[in-house]
Structures are given as structure tokens and as C-alpha cells.
């Protein structure tokens, strides 16, 4: 722990500055950040600049390979512009991934902090419950849930979050448990602080590094998992494009129009890799344990 | 040793009950609950639905329903498939072999490659090889399995024509070589993610051990480098890897589902998706519970293996 | 006159941290004869362990560390410079001619291998003997280091033994091939006082029987008094006082040695010459930020501004076979009389 045990505010600014420097030295993380910024900008503003919108059907231009006329990435079986669809899909996929991360982090932090701070019967039950969730392969659980819900982006986000909060819960509870008996908590308790105050104001800030790292990796996983269920036909539904459902029909045209499969896959890989790189850089920068290695 | 095992069995039992609770939750979370699939059938009146509900015991209080459900889960009465009326466990049993074949062959590949890469990375820490392996592992973890499968099919089946694009065997052939050629691509695709995970963990487990005092002792004894590495370091580094193998089971099963879909492999994952498509609800629930139990048993087995391999556990 | 075993001349070691070479051992020289025990004394961070690991060539390989000077091992009339030996030849010497035991018997044995295997593998990798022969030797060795029921212990795992027993096993491994030199890096520090005394007795007995030379690393002057013939005190990577164990113990001259003795509990020599008992304040300096002048001056109670913080003292001979590194030793000696 870089944070002094006698009070968590000691040298916070210094600590942040050092973390930032370490992050900036991590070449992969910086590359990842740049790629995500570029990808986000492209998805937000790109569709405005392209000559076609993602729903424009042009049956004469079906199956155009990339770089045909104005269709920079080619067209799909309905003659829709792949570049426009890719960027619009990016909006959906990135948004779902990000929102699912926020929601699952919230669930994970609340469960983890209660389990870690309260301990005892309730804490144990919560952690065993978390373990039980971890026994289910996430895709099985997601698909079983997805079959019953209205597959709009909001519901998809909710079920992704509902099946990916466990890791953060475990990290937070472990972190809190190790901090619970430290001096500053005892001091706060003796000063008459309420449990809620201690949980959220004294303990949580110490776990924040680990949470940020886990949350970043959760974005990567959420994007990936959304692609999986959309590819399998239970995620985001057409005509709304997502990177996953763009690949949905690609398999049948694999021989004749391979770009339909290849291009969205590259977009997914690029986004997920970037978030994984960022997560790795954050781990090096924020995780005090990496000091020892 | 036996006390440890009893303790561990007890834990698994508690976990099994919790797993069944989660499963029951999923069952009832769906709008309309277990009835939802009937509600979609055309021509079904409200009265019909209520009759079916009474038949299925859905008018009883939830705790009673749960206990009933858990009991049937326990004795193996998992209901019948809506599609063909075959008992769920039998349906699962028919698809189990294909999935296990895929998972085992892909595990052998990923453990083999992952161990070599991890050991090389650990012994050449911060080298070009280590750096490249680290980056590639992170990229491998980011590639959607199904997409990688599609690219592989396009390259090796459609373009080069070296390997079959899908299925487990050619009808009418079914020789060992036929099975093997069908197995290559799906097991390699499924192995991709696991190679990455395994090599990362192997590397850090090796590094954890290399810095230990007893490795210095082994070197001070004048043992050859290979003996220090393979007997002293590896033996200790592999212990946590057994646990890891257990913990990775859900990921492996999930990956198998996706891989089976892409390669039309007749396993549990394929069955799961087909059943979802037909709204064959008992099979879906059955597979969900079955996969969780498989994970549970896998983790238990991993812990027993660690207890057998690690002399320190025996006293606990 | 017994045979010389080891001559270390101007040994310097530096470690690379964040691209920079930071020196941790400066021009250390000493000799070691057969049947003799040289105690190297100092706080942690004084460079004493690094010196011993350098002799064993167990330091991180070259880009991560740099070594200069000579480490001459005298064997069969030959002088082998260990610092220049190939790794293969060094490996043959390690564990065979020069053996080492470490501070933490708890962590120094491989937890997943049986004690017997850890002894026999050392024998079998240096000598072409059968498994049964190696096992027979292992039983003898365990018996020799005072382990009862050696045959049964052979099949035990390290965690099934007490700390003292584990250290005995470590000694058995080190003695397996009757080495010329035994390097003992704080072998008793982690043990109970009574067990400590037993282990020291054992080492002394073995030395009397075999005539091996012992390089004994410690921070405890009580242990020095028990076992050492000669002693060498190190501070911040340098030898600051060296001489016969008795001379240094009874007439310490370097203020650091005096202070170090004061910080040793249950010791009868401290304070003999009117020096106050007490520990030395402060810490061993960071090798990357060595103070100018005498490295010890920020902690020294006899420090003189303008002298100690500017001039680096050299190792001087105060009397035959008693040298020290202090700018003011003559004055201090006068004052004491």
C-alpha cells in the first residue's frame, strides 16, 4: 500500500502524480487510450461525414467489396454502406459496454463493500452467493436471460451487468477486509463516524485503484460479451446495428463476401484490446502491489 | 487430509444449494416465469395457462416450488424436452461427449503451448520474446472467439481447403482421421483464449517461485539450470495452476458454446442454442444447471488434486 | 600453518536499478584458511550477504549486476578466479567445494520435495553414485548433524520438521560433499536461543573434524564470540574494521563497531571500556545516496564537522592484524586511555 496507514489523505496528490507518470510511461496503455479516443470520435462524428447513412438500402450496390466508389468498406447484402453501419454499430456497442461497466461496478462495489465491511453471517452469505454466480458460464446465463427479455439496448445492458459484477465484488470485499482493521478505521470509529461514513468515505477510496482497473477490464469484457450474444441472435436486434449482430449473417456469406465478417471483427478486437491495454497500464500505475515486482 | 476433504465437500454442497437458488431465480425472473413459453403459443387462452400453471404446481408458494424443484434436480428428474419428449438428462448426455472431446483436446493444446510460453517468458523476463508474448496474449484475450472461428474457416476451409468447415465427422466416413481433421480447427480456436490465460498465469506463477529462498538453495547446491527450473520451480509453480484450471472452467464452457455454434459441432453449446431457438425451456434450464454443476465438480476436483500434489495441505 | 582456501581482493559489486549502476560493495578484501572461521558482521544493508553471494556467484547475471576484483579459490595447488569462471565450471564447484546455508530454514527448503530427495539430488548431481548409495549417505549425514531417526526423517516434508531440524537438514545438504568452504549466511538468526547454541556447536564440531573453512555472516557479536577466529565488520559496503575476533571484540576501535556491540543484547563485552551502552541511531544509508566523507559520519557520535563529512577514510593498520577505517581513531584511542 502506497497509502500511509495512519491516514489515507497523506500524499494523495503526490500519489496521483506518480500514478499518472507511470501510466504515461506504459506504451501499450497510451496506445490503447489513443485508439479508444479515436474510435469514439469516429463513431460520434464519422456517420455525419460519410456519404450514406446506415439504413440507406441500395440494391444495385449489393455485396460491393471495400473501396468501391464511395463505399469505403463495401456494402452488405442489402447494399447498405458498411462504414456507416460499422460506426453506428460502434456507438451502440461502446455505449452498451460502458453502461454495463458502470452498472456492474455499482452492483459489485455495493455487494463487495457490504460483504467486506460487515463480514460475519451476511458477508459470508453474500460472498458465497457471488461464488455461486461465478459457477455459471456467463454466456449460458446471459442467453437464458436474454431469451425472456425485450432485446433493446437498455435491457441488454442490464443483463450484461447482472452477470458480470462478481469480480469487482470479490476485489472490493477482499480489499475492504484487509483494510477494516487498520488504524485509521479504528480512529474513525472512535471519533464516532457512522458505519456508512466509514464504508464509503474511509474504506472505499483505498480500494479505488483496484476498482478502476477491474472496471476498465469490465468494459472490455462487456463489449466482447455483447458481441457474443448479438452474434448468436439474442442481443441487439436489427435494424439497429451492433458489432456483434453485423457478424450475425456474415457466416453465410463468408465465401462470397468475407469483408462482412472481417471488418466488424477487427473493430471489436481493436476496441477490446485497447481497453485491455488501458487496464494493464492502470494496474501498473495504480496497483501498489506492482511496486514489489 | 480427510478432514480437509470433508470440509471441501461441505463447501461444495452449500455452493450447490446457492447455485440452485440462482437457477430458480432465473427461472422465475423471466416475465411470466416458467409459463412464458406457453404464453407465446398461439391460441392459448388465459384459462389454458392457468390450467397448465396448476399442473406444473405454479400456484403453490415460491419456497415450496423451490424445494420441489431442488428435489427433482437432486434425484435427476429434470423434466422432458418439449421438442421430442426425451428426458432432459438423456438429451444432455447425448451431447456431452462432443463437448468434452472439444474441451479436452483444446485444453491439452492450450496447457501445452501456454506452459512453454509462460516458462520462456518467466526465464527471459523483459526480453523481446517476453514482451511480444505479453502483447499477443492481451490481443488474444480480446479477439471474439466466434470471429476468430469465422476467419479460420474462411482461411483454412474455404480458401485453402485444408480442413472441413464444420461438423464433427463426415457422414459415411467417421474414421479416427476423419474425427481428428474435424477436431483441429475448433479445438485450436477454442484454445486461443486459454493459451493466453494459461501463459500469463504460468509466467507469474514461475516468477513468484523463482524469487523464493529454496530456489537459491537449489542453485547453491550446484544443480544444473534445467533441474532447478523443471524440478524445483515448475513443481511449485504448477500447483496454483491446477486451481486455475478449475476456475477457468466456466470460461472454457462458454467458449465451447460459441465455438460449437460456429463449427456446427454437435455438443452442449449447440444444443443450448437450438433449445433456445425452439423455446425448449426444460433443456435450457437443464443445461444451465448442468454447466454450473460441472464447474462445481471441476473446482472440487482441482482442489482434491492440489491436496494430493501439495504435501502441505495434508495437515490442514 | 594451514592451507589458504580463499583470497578475495578488491571485490566490488554494483546492482542496476532503473538503468543506473548502484555500488553496494566497495573493494572488499579478505582471506580464509582451512579450519578457520571468519565472521563478517554488519547490519542488514551493509553488503555482507552480497559479498557472500558474490563468492557463490549467485548474484543476478551481468546486465543486472556488475562485479570487479578477484575471488581466488585455492584448490589442489591451483588458483581459480571464481569471478571469471564459466557458469558450467562454477556450477561444479557450487554445492561441492563451496557450500552455503541460509538464514531462513523455513523457506530455504523446497516445500513440495521430501527431505531425502533434497539431500540426495545434491550428491547425485556431483558424484556418479547410485540412488541407494546416495540414500545411505543421506542417512549418515542426517545422523551426523544430530537428527534422530534419520531414516524416517528422510521421507518427511520440510513443513513436518521444526526450525532447528530444518537448519540441520540444510547443514547436512551443505556437508554432503565435504566442501572446503562453508558460507553460512546468518544461519542461526531465525532460531530460538537454545537451538542457536546447538547449531553453533554442531558447526564447530564439524569444522574440527573436517577442517573446512567457514565464512560466517552475522549481525550478532554474541555469535561472533562463540564461533569466530577472525572478524570483519562491514558498513555501507565497506570493511570498516577487521582483525582477530578477540582483538576486535575486546578492543573495538571504529565507533561503528563499538555502537554495534552496544546494540547487541546479552553481551558482556559492550561498555567494557567506559563506552555507554546503546543502539546506533539512524539507518544504513541508501547505496544510491551515500553521504560524502566517511559513510558512517551522519550516525557517528564522534563526528567532527569539516573532517569526517569531507575526507573518505582508508583502511589503516592500528596494530598488527587489526585494521580499521576511521579518521579519528588515534584521538579516540588517546581519549580512551
- Per residue in A115-161, pLDDT tens? 888 878 888 889 998 999 999 999 988 988 887 777 888 999 999 99
More confident: B92 or B157: B92
- Set of chain C residues whose Cβ sits within 8 Å of the Cβ of B238: none
CA B67 to chain centre: 28
- Contact with chain A for residue B29, Cβ under 8 A: yes
- Work out the pLDDT band at C305, boundaries 50, 70, 90: confident
Q: Which of residues 216-245 of A touch B (CB under 8 A)?
A: 220, 224, 227-228, 231-232, 234, 244
Chain C residue at shortest CA distance from B124: C61
Chain B residue at shortest CA distance from A278: B138
The minimum CA-CA distance between A272 and chain B, rounded to whole Å, is 5
Q: Determine contact, residues C136/C117, Cβ cutoff 8 Å.
A: no
CA torsion, points A164, A167, A172, A173, in degrees to nearest 10?
110
pLDDT recorded at residue C40: 93
% of chain C with per-residue pLDDT over 90? 30
- Set of chain C residues whose Cβ sits within 8 Å of the Cβ of B214: 107-111
Residues of chain C contacting B, Cβ within 8 Å? 56, 58, 91-96, 99-100, 102, 104, 107-113, 121-122, 125-126, 157, 159-160, 170, 173
Do C and A have ≥3 inter-chain CB pairs under 8 A?
no
How far apart (Å, rounded) are the C-alpha atoms in residues B61 and A83? 54
Beta carbons of A136 and B292 less than 8 Å apart: yes
Model pLDDT for residues A202-215, shown as the tens digit of each residue: 778 878 888 888 99
Which residue's C-alpha cell is 563497531? C257
- Contact with chain B for residue A276, Cβ under 8 A: yes
More confident: A75 or C146: C146
Can you read off the three cell numbers belonging to residue A159?
443483463
Lowest mean pLDDT segment, chosen from B15-24, B167-176, C289-298:
B167-176
The minimum CA-CA distance between B165 and chain A, rounded to whole Å, is 11
Which residue's C-alpha cell is 580499521? C324
Is the Cα dihedral B176, B181, B185, B191 positive or negative? positive
Is the Cα dihedral B137, B138, B144, B147 positive or negative? negative
- Set of chain C residues whose Cβ sits within 8 Å of the Cβ of B225: 91
- Contact with chain C for residue B221, Cβ under 8 A: yes
- Set of chain B residues whose Cβ sits within 8 Å of the Cβ of C102: 213, 216-217, 220
pLDDT recorded at residue B44: 65
**Average pLDDT score, chain B:** 85
Q: Find the CB nearest B30 among A141, A148, A255.
A: A148
- Set of chain C residues whose Cβ sits within 8 Å of the Cβ of B220: 56, 58, 94-95, 99-100, 102
pLDDT recorded at residue A284: 81
Model pLDDT for residues A226-263, shown as the tens digit of each residue: 999 998 888 888 888 899 888 887 777 877 788 888 88
Q: Find the CB nearest C109 among B217, B239, B315.
A: B217
Is residue B42 predicted with pLDDT exceeding 70? no
Q: Find the CB nearest C110 among B218, B220, B315.
A: B218
- Contact with chain B for residue A28, Cβ under 8 A: yes
**For A139, phi and psi rounded to 5 degrees?**
-65, -40
Q: Find the CB nearest B287 among A140, A228, A293.
A: A140
Model pLDDT for residues A217-229, shown as the tens digit of each residue: 999 999 999 999 9
pLDDT recorded at residue A104: 95
pLDDT recorded at residue A14: 54
Q: Determine contact, residues A251/B262, Cβ cutoff 8 Å.
A: yes
Model pLDDT for residues B60-100, shown as the tens digit of each residue: 778 888 888 888 888 888 888 877 888 889 889 999 999 99
How far apart (Å, rounded) are the C-alpha atoms in residues C58 and C49? 11
pLDDT recorded at residue C268: 43
How far apart (Å, rounded) are the C-alpha atoms in residues B35 and B51? 11
Q: State how far the alpha carbon of B174 is from the alpha carbons of B170, B265, C13, in Å.
A: 6, 14, 67
pLDDT recorded at residue A161: 94
The minimum CA-CA distance between B226 and chain A, rounded to whole Å, is 24
pLDDT recorded at residue C76: 81
pTM reported for the whole predicted model: 0.81
ipTM greater than cut 0.90: no
Model pLDDT for residues A160-216, shown as the tens digit of each residue: 999 999 999 998 888 888 887 777 777 777 777 777 777 777 778 878 888 888 999
Is residue B113 predicted with pLDDT exceeding 90? yes
Model pLDDT for residues C127-178, shown as the tens digit of each residue: 999 999 999 999 988 988 888 888 999 999 998 898 888 888 998 999 888 8
Is residue C13 predicted with pLDDT exceeding 90? yes
- Please state whether beta strands C238-244 and C322-324 pair in parallel, antiparallel, or not at all (unpaired): antiparallel
Do B and A have ≥3 inter-chain CB pairs under 8 A?
yes
- Tell me whether the omega of the peptide bond preceding residue A239 falls within 30 degrees of 0, making it cis: yes
Q: Determine contact, residues A237/A151, Cβ cutoff 8 Å.
A: yes
- Work out the pLDDT band at C265, boundaries 50, 70, 90: very low
How many beta-carbon contacts under 8 Å exist across A and B?
A: 143
How many beta-carbon contacts under 8 Å exist across B and C?
A: 79
More confident: C271 or C33: C33
- Residue in A142, A144, A165 to test binding to B, most B beta-carbons within 10 Å: A144
How far apart (Å, rounded) are the C-alpha atoms in residues A33 and A27? 10
pLDDT recorded at residue C212: 92
Do C and B have ≥3 inter-chain CB pairs under 8 A?
yes
pLDDT recorded at residue A5: 38
**Average pLDDT score, chain C:** 85
Beta carbons of C159 and B221 less than 8 Å apart: no
pLDDT recorded at residue A290: 43
SS3 for A76? coil
pLDDT recorded at residue C294: 87
The minimum CA-CA distance between A103 and chain B, rounded to whole Å, is 19
Model pLDDT for residues A104-126, shown as the tens digit of each residue: 999 999 999 888 888 788 888 89
Beta carbons of B30 and A145 less than 8 Å apart: yes
How far apart (Å, rounded) are the C-alpha atoms in residues B181 and C173? 53
The minimum CA-CA distance between C278 and chain B, rounded to whole Å, is 33
Name the neighbours of C, counting chains with at least 3 Cβ pairs within 8 A.
B
pLDDT recorded at residue B35: 63
Model pLDDT for residues C17-66, shown as the tens digit of each residue: 877 888 899 899 999 999 999 999 988 888 888 999 999 999 888 888 88
Chain A residue at shortest CA distance from B284: A144
Is residue C276 predicted with pLDDT exceeding 80? no
Q: State how far the alpha carbon of A17 is from the alpha carbons of A13, A118, A214, A279, in Å.
A: 6, 33, 21, 18
pLDDT recorded at residue C105: 79
% of chain B with per-residue pLDDT over 90? 25
Is residue A293 predicted with pLDDT exceeding 60? no
pLDDT recorded at residue C214: 94
- Residue in B193, B205, B254 to test binding to A, most A beta-carbons within 10 Å: B254
The arithmetic mean of pLDDT across residues B157-169, rounded, is 78
Q: Which of residues 255-314 of B touch A (CB under 8 A)?
A: 257-258, 261-262, 272-273, 276, 279, 284-285, 287-288, 291-293, 295-296, 299
Is residue A3 predicted with pLDDT exceeding 70? no
The minimum CA-CA distance between B54 and chain C, rounded to whole Å, is 60
The arithmetic mean of pLDDT across residues B290-300, rounded, is 91
Amino acid at each position: 500500500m502506497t497509502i500511509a496507514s495512519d491516514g489515507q489523505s497523506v500524499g494523495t496528490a503526490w500519489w496521483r502524480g506518480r500514478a499518472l507518470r507511470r501510466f504515461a510511461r506504459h506504451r501499450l496503455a497510451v496506445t490503447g487510450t489513443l485508439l479508444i479516443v479515436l474510435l469514439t470520435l469516429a463513431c460520434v462524428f464519422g456517420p455525419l461525414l460519410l456519404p450514406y447513412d446506415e439504413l440507406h438500402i441500395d440494391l444495385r450496390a449489393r455485396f460491393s467489396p471495400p473501396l468501391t466508389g464511395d463505399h469505403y468498406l463495401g456494402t452488405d447484402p442489402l447494399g447498405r454502406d458498411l462504414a456507416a453501419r460499422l460506426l453506428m454499430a460502434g456507438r451502440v456497442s461502446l455505449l452498451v459496454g460502458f453502461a454495463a461497466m458502470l452498472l456492474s461496478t455499482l452492483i459489485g462495489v455495493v455487494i463487495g463493500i457490504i460483504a467486506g465491511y460487515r463480514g460475519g453471517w451476511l458477508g459470508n452469505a453474500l460472498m458465497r452467493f457471488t461464488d455461486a454466480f461465478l459457477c455459471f458460464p456467463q454466456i449460458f446465463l446471459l442467453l437464458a436471460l436474454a431469451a425472456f427479455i425485450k432485446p433493446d439496448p437498455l435491457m441488454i445492458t442490464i443483463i450484461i451487468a447482472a452477470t458480470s459484477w462478481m469480480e469487482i465484488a470479490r476485489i472490493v470485499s477482499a480489499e475492504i477486509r484487509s483494510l477494516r482493521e487498520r488504524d485509521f478505521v479504528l480512529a474513525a470509529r472512535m471519533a464516532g463516524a457512522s458505519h456508512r461514513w466509514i464504508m464509503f468515505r474511509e474504506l472505499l477510496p483505498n480500494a479505488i485503484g483496484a476498482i478502476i482497473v477491474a472496471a476498465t477490464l469490465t468494459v472490455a469484457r462487456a463489449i466482447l460479451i455483447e458481441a457474443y450474444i448479438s452474434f448468436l441472435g439474442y442481443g441487439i436486434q436489427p435494424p439497429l446495428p451492433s458489432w456483434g449482430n453485423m457478424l450475425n449473417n456474415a457466416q453465410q456469406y463468408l465465401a462470397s463476401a468475407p469483408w462482412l465478417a472481417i471488418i466488424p471483427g477487427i473493430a471489436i478486437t481493436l476496441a477490446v484490446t485497447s481497453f485491455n491495454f488501458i487496464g494493464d497500464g492502470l494496474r501498473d500505475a495504480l496497483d501498489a502491489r506492482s511496486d514489489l515486482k | 487430509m480427510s478432514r480437509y476433504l470433508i470440509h471441501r465437500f461441505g463447501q461444495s454442497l452449500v455452493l450447490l444449494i446457492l447455485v440452485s437458488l440462482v437457477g430458480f431465480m432465473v427461472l422465475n425472473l423471466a416475465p411470466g416465469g416458467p409459463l412464458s413459453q406457453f404464453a407465446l403459443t398461439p391460441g392459448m387462452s388465459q384459462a389454458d395457462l392457468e390450467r397448465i400453471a396448476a399442473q406444473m404446481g405454479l400456484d403453490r408458494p415460491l419456497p415450496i416450488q423451490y424445494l420441489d424443484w431442488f428435489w427433482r434436480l437432486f434425484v435427476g428428474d429434470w423434466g422432458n424436452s418439449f421438442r421430442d419428449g426425451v428426458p432432459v438428462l438423456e438429451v444432455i448426455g447425448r451431447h456431452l461427449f462432443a463437448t468434452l472431446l472439444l474441451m479436452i483436446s483444446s485444453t491439452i493444446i492450450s496447457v501445452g503451448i501456454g506452459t512453454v510460453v509462460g516458462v520462456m517468458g518467466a526465464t527471459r523476463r523483459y526480453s523481446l520474446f517476453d514482451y511480444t508474448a505479453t502483447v499477443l496474449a492481451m490481443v488474444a484475450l480480446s479477439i471474439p472467439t466466434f470471429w476468430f472461428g469465422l476467419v479460420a474457416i474462411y482461411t483454412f476451409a474455404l480458401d485453402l481447403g485444408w480442413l472441413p468447415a464444420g461438423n464433427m465427422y463426415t457422414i459415411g466416413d467417421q474414421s479416427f482421421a476423419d474425427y481428428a481433421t474435424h477436431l483441429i480447427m475448433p479445438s485450436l480456436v477454442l484454445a486461443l483464449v486459454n493459451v493466453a490465460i494459461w501463459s500469463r498465469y504460468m509466467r507469474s506463477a514461475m516468477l513468484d517461485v523463482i524469487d523464493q529462498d529454496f530456489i537459491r538453495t537449489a542453485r547453491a547446491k550446484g544443480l544444473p539450470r534445467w533441474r532447478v527450473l523443471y524440478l524445483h520451480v515448475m513443481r511449485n509453480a504448477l500447483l496454483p495452476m491446477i486451481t486455475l484450471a478449475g476456475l477457468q472452467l466456466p470460461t472454457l464452457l462458454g467458449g465451447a458454446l460459441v465455438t460449437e455454434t460456429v463449427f456446427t459441432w454437435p455438443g452442449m453449446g449447440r444444443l443450448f442454442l437450438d433449445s433456445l431457438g425452439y423455446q425448449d425451456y426444460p433443456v435450457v434450464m437443464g443445461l444451465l444447471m448442468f454447466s454450473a454443476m460441472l464447474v462445481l465438480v471441476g473446482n472440487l476436483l482441482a482442489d482434491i488434486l492440489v491436496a494430493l500434489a501439495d504435501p502441505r495441505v495434508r495437515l490442514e | 600453518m594451514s592451507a589458504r582456501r580463499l583470497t578475495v581482493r578488491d571485490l566490488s559489486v554494483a546492482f542496476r536499478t532503473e538503468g543506473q549502476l548502484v555500488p553496494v560493495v566497495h573493494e572488499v578484501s579478505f582471506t580464509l584458511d582451512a579450519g578457520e572461521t571468519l565472521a563478517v558482521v554488519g547490519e542488514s544493508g551493509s553488503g555482507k550477504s552480497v559479498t557472500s553471494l558474490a563468492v557463490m556467484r549467485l548474484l543476478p547475471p551481468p546486465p543486472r549486476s556488475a562485479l570487479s576484483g578477484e575471488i581466488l579459490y585455492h584448490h589442489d595447488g591451483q588458483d581459480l578466479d571464481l569471478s571469471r569462471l564459466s557458469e558450467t565450471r562454477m556450477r561444479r564447484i557450487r554445492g561441492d567445494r563451496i557450500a552455503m546455508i541460509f538464514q531462513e530454514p523455513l523457506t530455504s527448503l523446497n516445500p513440495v520435495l521430501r527431505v531425502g530427495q533434497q539431500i540426495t539430488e545434491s550428491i547425485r548431481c556431483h558424484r556418479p553414485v547410485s540412488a541407494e548409495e546416495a540414500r545411505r549417505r543421506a542417512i549418515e549425514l542426517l545422523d551426523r548433524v544430530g537428527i534422530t531417526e534419520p531414516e524416517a526423517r528422510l521421507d518427511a516434508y520440510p513443513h513436518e520438521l521444526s526450525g532447528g531440524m530444518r537448519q540441520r537438514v540444510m547443514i547436512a545438504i551443505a556437508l554432503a560433499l565435504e566442501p572446503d568452504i562453508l558460507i553460512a549466511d546468518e544461519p542461526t538468526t531465525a532460531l530460538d536461543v537454545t537451538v542457536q547454541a546447538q547449531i553453533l556447536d554442531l558447526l564447530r564440531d564439524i569444522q574440527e573434524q573436517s577442517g573446512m573453512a567457514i565464512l560466517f555472516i552475522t549481525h550478532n557479536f554474541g555469535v561472533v564470540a562463540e564461533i569466530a577466529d577472525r572478524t570483519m565488520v562491514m558498513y555501507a559496503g565497506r570493511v570498516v574494521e577487521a582483525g582477530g575476533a578477540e582483538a576486535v571484540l575486546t578492543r573495538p576501535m571504529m565507533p561503528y563497531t563499538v555502537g554495534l556491540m552496544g546494540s547487541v543484547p546479552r553481551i558482556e563485552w559492550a561498555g567494557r571500556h567506559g563506552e555507554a551502552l546503546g543502539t546506533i541511531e539512524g539507518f544504513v544509508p541508501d547505496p544510491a545516496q551515500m553521504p560524502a566523507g566517511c559513510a558512517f559520519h551522519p550516525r557517528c557520535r564522534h563526528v567532527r564537522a569539516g573532517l569526517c563529512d569531507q575526507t573518505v577514510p582508508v583502511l589503516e593498520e592500528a596494530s598488527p592484524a587489526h585494521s580499521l577505517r576511521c579518521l579519528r581513531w588515534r584521538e579516540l584511542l588517546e581519549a580512551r586511555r
